[in-house]
């Protein structure tokens, strides 16, 4: 079976090597580019690239320009790396079609977890209509959830929230990220909306509600004990 190909684009050789080493340990094949123009040459040449990890600040052609060009012809998942975590940068990225956003400095293990989650999500639209986690079964087509075979009644947003949590098991999710992905980017709510829905969702999940961990000052993480 062919390895999944990932294109890593960063003008810092040390950063590329760090990311490559961790991804190769995970079984991925890694292509590297030191600037945006080199990245686009590789992208057009190799049609099997499954995901792009893209730095924002680069010479010749920055990450935003590369992303715009990629999105003209492809929906390949893109994870943006940035040294700045300003909200307007993040919103610009989402508007242009970024799938994930990782701020430097980051843990390579967390980046690998994000890569795994993004690839799972991108393939789930084609393959996984049902996802499971320790007795929780989510039927995405029928929009139904069962726990140990017994159906539970969730609102539309509770269903979307649980699906997002389960598809991103083990990954710490900020409230902003949850708002962006579950309530969509044009939603002008606040964190209390998420906290209220999580509280109701935990209650409906019973004992399995404990799988939704609170990360104080940040957000939540779904983790099977």
- CA separation for the pair 199, 152 (Å, rounded): 15
Decide: 22 and 111 in contact? Cβ < 8 Å.
Answer: yes
Can you give the pLDDT at residue 85? Answer: 56
Pick from 157, 66, 165: nearest CA to 121: 165
* Mean per-residue pLDDT of the chain: 85
Can you give the pLDDT at residue 93? Answer: 65
Can you give the pLDDT at residue 90? Answer: 61
Long-range contacts from 29-34, C-beta under 8 angstroms, 24+ separation: 29/3, 29/4, 29/5, 30/5, 30/6, 31/5, 31/6, 31/7, 32/7, 32/8, 33/7, 33/8, 33/9, 34/9, 34/10
Indicate whether 219 pLDDT > 70: yes
Find the range with the poorest average confidence among 29-33, 37-41, 163-167, 174-178: 174-178
Token match 């995970």: residue?
26
For 42-75, the pLDDT digits (tens) are 999 998 999 999 998 888 888 889 999 998 888 8
Indicate whether 201 pLDDT > 50: yes
Can you give the pLDDT at residue 107? Answer: 84
- Where are any strands of DSSP class E within 21-65? 29-33, 49-55
Q: How confident is the model at residue 19 (pLDDT cuts 50, 70, 90)?
A: very high
Q: How confident is the model at residue 182 (pLDDT cuts 50, 70, 90)?
A: confident
Indicate whether 8 pLDDT > 90: yes
When comparing pLDDT for 186 and 136, which is higher? 136
Query: Tokens representing 26?
Result: 């995970």
End-to-end C-alpha distance for the chain, whole angstroms: 32
Model confidence pTM above 0.85 = no
Can you give the pLDDT at residue 176? Answer: 83
Indicate whether 218 pLDDT > 50: yes
For the chain, give the number of residues: 225
For 83-114, the pLDDT digits (tens) are 765 555 666 666 777 888 887 888 888 888 88
Token match 């993480």: residue?
221
Decide: 101 and 88 in contact? Cβ < 8 Å.
Answer: no
């Amino acid at each position: 079976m062919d390895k999944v190909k990932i294109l890593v684009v960063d003008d810092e050789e040390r950063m590329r090597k760090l990311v490559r080493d961790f991804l190769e340990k995970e079984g991925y094949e890694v292509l590297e580019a030191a600037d945006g123009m080199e990245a686009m040459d590789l992208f057009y040449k190799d049609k099997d690239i499954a995901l792009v990890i893209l730095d924002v600040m680069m010479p010749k052609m920055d990450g935003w320009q590369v992303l715009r060009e990629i999105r003209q012809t492809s929906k390949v998942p893109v994870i943006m790396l940035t040294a700045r975590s300003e909200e307007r940068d993040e919103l610009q990225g989402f508007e242009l079609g970024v799938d994930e956003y990782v701020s430097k400095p980051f843990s390579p293990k967390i980046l690998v977890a994000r890569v795994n989650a993004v690839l799972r999500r991108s393939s789930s639209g084609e393959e996984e209509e049902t996802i499971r986690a320790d007795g929780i079964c989510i039927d995405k087509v029928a929009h139904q959830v069962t726990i140990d075979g017994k159906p539970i009644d969730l609102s539309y947003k509770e269903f979307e929230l649980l699906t997002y949590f389960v598809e991103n098991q083990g990954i710490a999710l900020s409230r902003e990220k949850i708002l962006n992905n579950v309530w969509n980017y044009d939603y002008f709510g606040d964190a209390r909306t998420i906290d209220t829905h999580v509280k109701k969702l935990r209650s409906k999940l019973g004992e399995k509600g404990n799988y939704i961990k609170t990360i104080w000052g940040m957000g939540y993480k779904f983790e099977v004990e």
